[in-house]
Amino acid sequence: MAKVWIDGETSIEVEDADGVNAVSLTVDDKKVIVSAGQTVLEAVQRMNGIGNIPALCNHPAVKPYGACRICTVEVSEDGGSKFKFVAACLYSVKEGLIVKTNTEKIKKLRRGIIELMLARCPNVKRIQELAEEYGVEKPRFVLGDQDCILCGLCVRACQEIIGKSAISLVNRGIYREVAAPFYAYELTEECIGCGDCAFVCPTGAIEMGPDGRPILPKVKIPYGEIEALMKKEAATPS
């Protein structure tokens, strides 16, 4: 018999569940039994009052991606002597795993990531809420004015659920953005106007336009750099 928690307040005694496709893990010092084959994030999100893992780039309808990193937790595979940081949305549950979702280290990391997101998108409600929850005040950086956090959910929904890829992520690094084929901001007939992208967007950066197609977040690329680059390229004869 072992004591197992089923939510934040309730524990029950269970017999050894041999032959059941389940694993037991410890989440924030509470032992739980969850079905195997899911990620730490899925398992924790299903349990009421145990663990606290925020997530922005994750959605049950699409495959996990691991971009926002806000779901980072500490895990130990060796009974607690060594912990490492992993993205909960990508890390699979396994027998005996110890998960810590809210240590000081984790909170510090999340505060840092939220500060970076808030500096990029100071006007997004979801980010403001997270900032308040984690006690992030004014970011220490030059503020941007974007809505898109580049979590890629819209792109993945269009590709994985609809099978269209009417939008994709283009460019790399800080110049990355969501665009239609051939680097257009206006959507083409590839878009069936299903609205999936707008629905999954965690920040409301994509809205449906009057023509029934979504309006993409026109990324105002960091602080005038791309305009300068484009001018430079236009000025250089190729």
Our CB check for other proteins shows the closer of 86 and 194 to be 86
Nearer CB in complex with other proteins: 30/120: 120
DSSP states along 49-93? TS-----SS--TTS-----S-TTEEEEESSTTS--EEEETTTPBP
Query: Whole-number minimum distance, CB 1 to other proteins, in Å?
Result: 33
As measured in angstroms, the least distance from the Cβ of 117 to other proteins is 6
Least CB distance to other proteins at residue 16 (A): 28
Question: Considering beta carbons, is residue 18 or 233 the nearer one to other proteins?
Answer: 233
Query: Tokens 């922005």 correspond to what residue?
Result: 56
Task: Name which of 100 and 120 has its Cβ closer to other proteins.
Answer: 120
Residues found near other proteins in the complex (CB under 8 A): 65-70, 72, 85-87, 90-92, 105, 108-109, 112-113, 116-117, 119-120, 140-142, 149-150, 152, 169, 171-176, 222
What is the Cα 229 distance to its own chain's centre?
30
Residue 111's closest CA among 140, 82, 88, 149? 140
Per the structure block, which two tokens stand in for 134?
């984690």
E strand or H helix at 170: strand 168-170
